[in-house]
Amino acid sequence: MTQTTYLRTALLPLSDLTPFPGNARRGNVGTILESLRRNGQYRSLIVRELPGGPLVVLAGNHTAEALNRHGAGDCSQTIGGKPCGVCANDPGWTPSARCEVVACDEDTARRVNLIDNRAAEKGSQDPDALAELLSFLDNDLTGSGYDDVDLERLLAPPPTLEELADTYAPPEGGTAALWPVLRLRVSPEQRDAFYDLTITCPDPNDDAARFQYLLDRARAAHPH
């Protein structure tokens, strides 16, 4: 087994690059493209050069996909008063990416692809430090990967099940003990939609209040 050996840095046409075969990661290409348009390509793709063969993207496959989705030429977009960070609003821009070209064997190529996808997943965020970083963006979260809903949840996260149980546990034998309990298993997308639709709830820290707020909105929209 050989470790990666740096060969060169080059600006390469996307048409010369081959995605990593069997890449297991499913990235959010739209979010990456938004970042590229705002911030430019701040990190190179890692590309493996095979003798007499293709240039294979080991790390940065979704960045390459986002650049390709942008397409050739001027996208006519300006972000924050600045030209697009991908094409610079140049009609002659050709889809390309800055790449760190390396050589390695098949085993190392797979390991580089796997760790690049896995490393961030194994990390965690300090909520206070994250909130402070976001506060410096002056409410313009474009290109950060976060939006207003994320920020609202960060500043006022929903209570945990343990906190709800401590707060709303009925006294033994009390009338509330007869109230029905709804337990729903939902997808992350459904959970996010629930919080998005109830973001203006008067008491966002109470999921029961959010649920009542959603019912009230539904009744108002369909009074009969």
| CATH code (residue 56) | 3.90.1530.10
Q: How do beta strands 45-49 and 96-103 pair?
A: parallel
Count of structural domains within the chain: 2
Rounded to whole angstroms, how far apart are CA atoms 145 and 125? 14
Of the three residues 118, 147, 182, the one that is the final residue of a domain is 118
For the record, the structure tokens of 113 come out as 């692809």
pLDDT at position 199: 85
Q: Residue 217's pLDDT band (boundaries 50, 70, 90)?
A: confident
pLDDT at position 74: 96
In terms of residue numbers, what domain contains 113?
A: 5-118
Q: Work out the mean pLDDT of the chain and round it to a whole number.
A: 87
Same structural domain for residues 110 and 188? no
Residue type, 157: P
Same structural domain for residues 114 and 192? no
Q: How do beta strands 78-79 and 96-103 pair?
A: unpaired
For the record, the structure tokens of 28 come out as 């959010």
Query: What would the pLDDT profile of 80-110 be if each residue is shown by its tens digit?
Result: 889 999 999 999 999 999 999 999 999 999 9
Same structural domain for residues 90 and 32? yes
Query: Mean pLDDT across the stretch 190-214?
Result: 85
